[in-house]
Amino acid sequence: MIEISFMSANWVARQLGYSMTEGWKQGEQATNAYFEPLVTYRERFAELLREVRALGFRKMDLWTAHLNWKWATDVHIAVVRDLLAEYEVTLSSYAGAFGETLEEFEAACRVAKAVGVDLLAGGCELLANNKNRVCSILKRHAVKFAYENHPEKSSDELLDKIAGTDEELIGVCVDTGWFGTQGYDAAKALREVRDRLFFVHLKDVAEPGAHRTRGYGEGCVPIERCVETLREMRYLGGISVEHGPEDHDPREEIQSSRRMLEALLA
């Protein structure tokens, strides 16, 4: 059964009052600054989980800006574990970028495992020159890694990034929105990477050439055909509902997208 989850990076622009004028890094920095202080962490993380539940989700993909391996202490981790149990939310993945050194990548694996996650989904430049050592770290911590496409313009480019790695430990996370941005058929990509597909970030974007996210059915990504392809493939992994606009609160669109996805999967 395909499980649906909420991507907490959907709120990338929230701490900026949905006026993210300088791009993703601006929102990421603001979110880290808001969540890092331990004195307010329980209150702020609890608020996040309450809203996830209010939007109709019981599963969540935890963005690194909400619990960053760079600043997470044992106390932060304990708070996350306590609140996940209290609000009955389970984590599907740990999402984001996982460092530029092997030590940083190991720190990300350690935090993920500590909060009960066995899948990292995002970016890792270390794969270019450290595939064997990355695999060793993943195996040591009993977690898997799904490399997510961003600049890759085709499924071949995506698969090239993980070529020669252990298929049990490293696969791909298809971000349908980024394939839309690159002008590549996301449904076609899903079929082409099926043997290494670990996870899906289901996202719509306004048009090729830019990365302005939209609610499902409002952009250029063939959302219905993507879901149909996953069903035909008998895919049993997770789908993260992702929509992080720079200029407005996405909650209503996320609810509509969740309902649309549930209907397509029914």
- Residue 63, CA atoms < 13 Å, CB-side half-sphere: 24
**Measured between alpha carbons, how far is residue 250 from residues 94, 214, 216, 225, 254 in Å?**
21, 9, 12, 23, 6
Query: Domains in the chain, ordered, with CATH?
Result: 3-265 (3.20.20.150)
What is the residue whose two structure tokens read 């839309």? 180
Q: What is the pLDDT of residue 261?
A: 98
**pLDDT band at 15, cuts 50/70/90?**
very high
Give the Cα separation of 235 and 254 in Å (integer). 23
How far apart (Å, rounded) are the C-alpha atoms in residues 256 and 80? 28
What the block records as the tokens of 50 is 């309450």
d(CA 174, CA 198): 8
The answer to whether the beta carbons of residues 157 and 177 sit under 8 Å apart is: no
Under DSSP, is residue 63 helix (H, G, I), strand (E, B) or coil? strand
Residue 160: which of 132, 131, 182 has the closest Cα? Answer: 131
Residue-wise pLDDT tens digits, 208-244: 999 999 999 999 999 999 999 999 999 999 999 999 9
pLDDT given for residue 156 in this prediction: 98
> For 90-149, how does the pLDDT look when each residue is reduced to its tens digit (9 = 90+)?
999 999 999 999 999 999 999 999 999 999 999 998 998 999 999 999 999 999 999 999
Query: Residue 87 belongs to what H/E stretch?
Result: helix 74-87
Whether the per-residue pLDDT at 1 is higher than 90: the answer is: no
The token pair at 107 is: 């720190």
Q: DSSP assignment of 162-203, as one string? A: HTTS-TTTEEEEEEHHHHHHTT--HHHHHHHTGGGEEEEEE-
